[in-house]
């Protein structure tokens, strides 16, 4: 609510006409009025007052009383005046606020004159002109616990800091060459990008924030058409639904990432999804992490939903008894979910979500030297993992590295070694000082067809949080030391892995190649199609030859062409057609998606082909009924 206070000799007004069509008639005697020696309050009720008109009226009454007290007047004129605010309440709630305010002031012993709401009025006013006679205030209702309006998001110090952040950009090539970048005429300059177009697009995205394409990301249509993932209007934006086939793929990715991180040596733990705002360490951590939180009201406190696994693992680590002999030491959790209340317009399909699944692995290391060494160990884990998920490295990604100037000066060799290992030039953002809890952070960014970049794998060297959370280890002398902490997400958010796979497939479509998932992720690996109903029984028996393979059977009585088409639209990698010939020969006619060829082979041979190509990856059985005719449609 906004109020303009005027201490007046007199105020006179006269109704000239209705301002709102919906407003009721008023009696003749209310159509004009005059007050003398009064405190006039021009009032605008605002949107935010609608939630609790009573509380708004109460807060306003308190303010008016405060001002009236200083002016020693008991006479108050309330004058509805819409022009004080650009965010007005709707007429009904506004009238409710004003009525409640009038009643409240009456109760407090004031003589209250209220001019009518919803009418144009002419007025004359004589203002006294002393220092207190003109005054405006913006009044916000105090939140009472029972009806508290929770802030939709928390904007913390880190977010604000990031907005002020000044940084400088460079390209670091594999020979250690360091090229400062600048923006000239909207284009990134300072490095010859001729052989590195995607790095150019990434730098352009990061530095100039300008987009060259303005299209819907192709993965959105694909995720829907393939019945993998879809929007869920019944939830909050950025919280998606997964259909059986999407759940299958996501589940396999989740299992695979976790498997690899355990093999690397991390210990898997599980932590709560919500945390107390008032916990001292968390409170200060929140202010160093640039993210917006979901806020939840528990029965007796306000909590935020985790946006990563960091604090859960830190709270465990602070209670652990640790020796230098045990470091480096890693804890791991696959967070389903991590929550970030991203701004509405930032959400995009699977690229940017409010609820996402992030593998998060924190390693405690003794010092910078061990941090650097161990970061490279983890880099190899992530490298192999993404390769085995179906990506080409380093081709499919661009490194963005953020580093503080002091770290660069002291450990530039490490950064150069990293670029050499990566095998292509990397983009470096350098900060003159340490704004966040890390001194170095890298991300592997997938740059899509629309020149949008999305970070997948990321690791950081954290120099602050051990102190903040009280995490210590005993060194050789038995003295307590604060370790450094590495923050690795080996694959990045699982949803983003799926996003990148779909975007890659979309690029294949554009290039005239058949789009595919890696075999171990294909919802159907082998589709058996009988030529006609006569072969259906034989085809049914054939399923038994594909133990350990996701094989299904098109038992509809559609034509062969139609059944082939259906399988192709589902991206089935191996389509087995069974007719009279095959029954007689005992061989299968296999339509191979990747080569578009038809090949003759035995059932055993095909099974072995699939088993070999998926060895070492997790397996899940079919997500839906083995018979096509028994499957529902989730989405046309």
Angstrom distance (rounded) from CA 374 to CA 14: 80
H helices present in 165-309, as ranges: 197-203, 218-225, 244-264, 280-286
Give the binding-site size for RNA (rule: CB under 7 A). Answer: 77
182 binds RNA (CB under 7 A): no
216 binds RNA (CB under 7 A): yes
> Least separation, in Å, of the C-beta of 216 and RNA?
4
On whether the CB atoms of residues 450 and 213 are closer than 8 A, the answer is yes
Angstrom distance (rounded) from CA 132 to CA 66: 12
- Per DSSP, the residues of 381-439 read HHHHHHHHTT--TTTT-EEEEEEEHHHHHHHHHHHHHHHHHH-S-EEEEEESS--SSEE
510 binds RNA (CB under 7 A): no
Residues in 3-42 that interact with RNA by CB under 7 A: 21-22
184 binds RNA (CB under 7 A): no
Binding mask 242-281 for RNA (x = CB under 7 A): ----------------------------------------
Q: Which of 177, 237, 272, 280 binds RNA (CB under 7 A)?
A: 237
458 binds RNA (CB under 7 A): yes
326 binds RNA (CB under 7 A): no
> Least separation, in Å, of the C-beta of 531 and RNA?
5
Angstrom distance (rounded) from CA 275 to CA 268: 20
> Least separation, in Å, of the C-beta of 562 and RNA?
4
597 binds RNA (CB under 7 A): no
> Least separation, in Å, of the C-beta of 48 and RNA?
12
Return the number of the residue (63 or 85) whose C-beta is nearest RNA: 85
Return the number of the residue (10 or 634) whose C-beta is nearest RNA: 634
Return the number of the residue (70 or 532) whose C-beta is nearest RNA: 532
Q: With CB under 7 A as the contact rule, which of the stretches 3-11, 189-197, 203-211, 293-301 interacts with RNA? A: 203-211
550 binds RNA (CB under 7 A): no
409 binds RNA (CB under 7 A): no
492 binds RNA (CB under 7 A): yes
Secondary structure of 122-191 as H, E, C letters: EEEEEECCCCCCEEEEECCCCCCHHHCCCCCCCCCHHHHHHHHCCEEEEEECCCCCEEECEEECCEEECC
The residues facing 78 across adjacent strands are 41, 114
Residue 28 DSSP one-character state: G
580 binds RNA (CB under 7 A): yes
Return the number of the residue (215 or 612) whose C-beta is nearest RNA: 215
Q: How many residues does the chain have?
A: 636
H helices present in 459-575, as ranges: 465-469, 494-510, 536-542, 560-569
Q: Which of 122, 210, 432, 602 binds RNA (CB under 7 A)?
A: 210
Q: Give whole-number Cα distances, 555 to 378, 497, 550, in Å.
A: 48, 33, 16
Return the number of the residue (20 or 147) whose C-beta is nearest RNA: 20
Helix (H, G, I), strand (E, B) or coil at 41: strand
454 binds RNA (CB under 7 A): yes
Q: Which of 16, 144, 326, 598 binds RNA (CB under 7 A)?
A: 598
User: Which is nearest to 252 in space by CA: 238, 242, 240, 267?
Assistant: 242
On whether the CB atoms of residues 35 and 144 are closer than 8 A, the answer is no
Q: Which of 52, 227, 333, 342 binds RNA (CB under 7 A)?
A: 342
Q: Which of 70, 559, 594, 625 binds RNA (CB under 7 A)?
A: 559
Return the number of the residue (52 or 555) whose C-beta is nearest RNA: 555
Phi–psi pair at 394, nearest 5 degrees: -90, 5
Return the number of the residue (271 or 453) whose C-beta is nearest RNA: 453
Q: Which of 25, 29, 184, 215 binds RNA (CB under 7 A)?
A: 215
565 binds RNA (CB under 7 A): yes
Helix, strand, coil fractions of the chain, as percent rounded to 5: 35, 30, 35
625 binds RNA (CB under 7 A): no
On whether the CB atoms of residues 34 and 10 are closer than 8 A, the answer is yes
Q: With CB under 7 A as the contact rule, which of the stretches 172-180, 248-256, 545-553, 557-565 interacts with RNA? A: 557-565
Q: Which of 76, 453, 471, 551 binds RNA (CB under 7 A)?
A: 453
Q: Which of 92, 534, 537, 604 binds RNA (CB under 7 A)?
A: 534
Task: State in Å, rounded, how far the first CA of the chain is from the last one.
Answer: 49
Q: Which of 10, 178, 231, 277 binds RNA (CB under 7 A)?
A: 231
The two tokens of residue 279 are 């916990």
Q: With CB under 7 A as the contact rule, which of the stretches 24-32, 125-133, 542-550, 580-588 interacts with RNA? A: 580-588
Angstrom distance (rounded) from CA 196 to CA 399: 12
The two tokens of residue 159 are 């977010």
614 binds RNA (CB under 7 A): no
Q: Which of 129, 131, 533, 621 binds RNA (CB under 7 A)?
A: 533
Q: Which of 61, 77, 139, 220 binds RNA (CB under 7 A)?
A: 220
The two tokens of residue 409 are 């000066």
């Amino acid at each position: 609510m906004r109020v303009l206070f005027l201490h007046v000799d007199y105020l006179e007004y006269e109704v000239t006409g209705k301002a709102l069509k919906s407003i009721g008639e008023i009696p003749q005697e209310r159509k004009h009025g005059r007050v003398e020696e009064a405190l006039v309050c021009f009032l605008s009720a605002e949107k935010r007052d609608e939630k609790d008109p009573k509380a708004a009226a109460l807060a306003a009454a308190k303010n008016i009383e405060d001002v009236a007290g200083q002016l020693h007047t008991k006479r108050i004129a309330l004058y509805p005046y819409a022009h004080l605010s650009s965010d007005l309440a709707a007429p009904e709630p506004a009238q409710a606020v004003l009525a409640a305010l009038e009643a409240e002031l009456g109760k407090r012993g004031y003589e209250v004159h209220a001019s009518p709401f919803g009418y144009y009025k002419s007025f004359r006013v004589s203002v006294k002109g002393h220092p207190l006679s003109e005054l405006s205030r913006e009044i916000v209702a105090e939140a009472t616990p029972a009806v508290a309006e929770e802030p939709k998001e928390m904007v913390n110090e880190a977010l604000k800091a990031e907005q002020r952040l000044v940084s400088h950009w460079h390209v670091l090539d594999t020979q250690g060459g360091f090229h400062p970048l600048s923006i000239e005429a909207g284009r990134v300059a300072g490095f010859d990008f001729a052989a590195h177009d995607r790095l150019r697009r990434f730098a352009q995205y990061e530095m100039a924030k300008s987009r060259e394409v303005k299209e819907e990301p192709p993965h959105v249509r694909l995720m829907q058409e393939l019945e993998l993932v879809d929007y869920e209007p019944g939830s909050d934006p950025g919280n998606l639904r997964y259909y059986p086939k999407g759940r299958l793929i996501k589940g396999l990715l989740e299992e695979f990432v976790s498997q690899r991180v355990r093999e690397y040596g991390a210990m898997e733990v599980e932590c709560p999804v919500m945390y107390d705002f008032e916990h001292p360490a968390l409170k200060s951590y929140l202010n160093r992490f640039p993210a917006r939180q979901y806020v939840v009201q528990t029965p007796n406190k306000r909590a935020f939903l985790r946006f990563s696994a960091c604090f859960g693992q830190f709270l465990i680590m602070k209670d652990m008894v640790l020796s230098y002999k045990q470091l480096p030491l890693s804890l791991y959790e696959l967070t389903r979910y991590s929550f970030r209340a991203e701004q509405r317009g930032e959400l995009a399909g699977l690229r940017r979500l409010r609820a996402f699944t992030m593998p998060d692995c924190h390693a405690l290391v003794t010092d910078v030297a061990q941090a650097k060494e161990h970061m490279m160990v983890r880099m190899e884990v992530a490298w192999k993992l993404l390769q085995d998920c179906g990506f080409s490295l380093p081709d499919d990604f661009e490194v963005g590295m953020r580093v503080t100037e002091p770290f660069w000066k002291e450990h530039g060799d490490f950064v150069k070694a990293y670029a050499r290992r990566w095998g292509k030039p990397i983009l470096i953002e350098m900060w003159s000082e340490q704004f966040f809890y890390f001194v170095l952070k890298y991300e592997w960014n997938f740059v899509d067809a629309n020149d949008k970049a999305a970070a997948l794998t990321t690791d950081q060297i954290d120099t602050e949080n051990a102190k903040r959370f009280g995490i210590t280890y005993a060194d050789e002398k038995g003295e307590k030391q604060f370790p450094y902490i590495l923050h690795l997400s080996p694959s990045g958010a699982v949803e983003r892995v799926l996003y990148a796979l779909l975007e890659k497939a979309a690029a294949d479509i554009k290039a005239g190649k058949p789009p595919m998932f890696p075999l171990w992720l294909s919802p159907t690996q082998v589709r058996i199609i009988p030529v006609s109903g006569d072969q259906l029984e034989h085809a049914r028996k054939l399923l038994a030859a594909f133990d350990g393979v996701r094989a299904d059977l098109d038992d509809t009585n559609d034509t062969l062409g139609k059944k082939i088409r259906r399988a192709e639209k589902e991206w089935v990698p191996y389509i087995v057609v069974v007719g009279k010939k095959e029954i007689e020969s005992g061989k299968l006619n296999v339509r191979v998606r990747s080569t578009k060829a038809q090949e003759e082979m035995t059932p055993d041979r095909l099974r072995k082909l699939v088993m070999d190509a998926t060895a070492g990856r997790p397996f899940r059985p079919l997500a839906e009924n083995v018979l096509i005719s028994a499957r529902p449609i989730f989405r046309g």
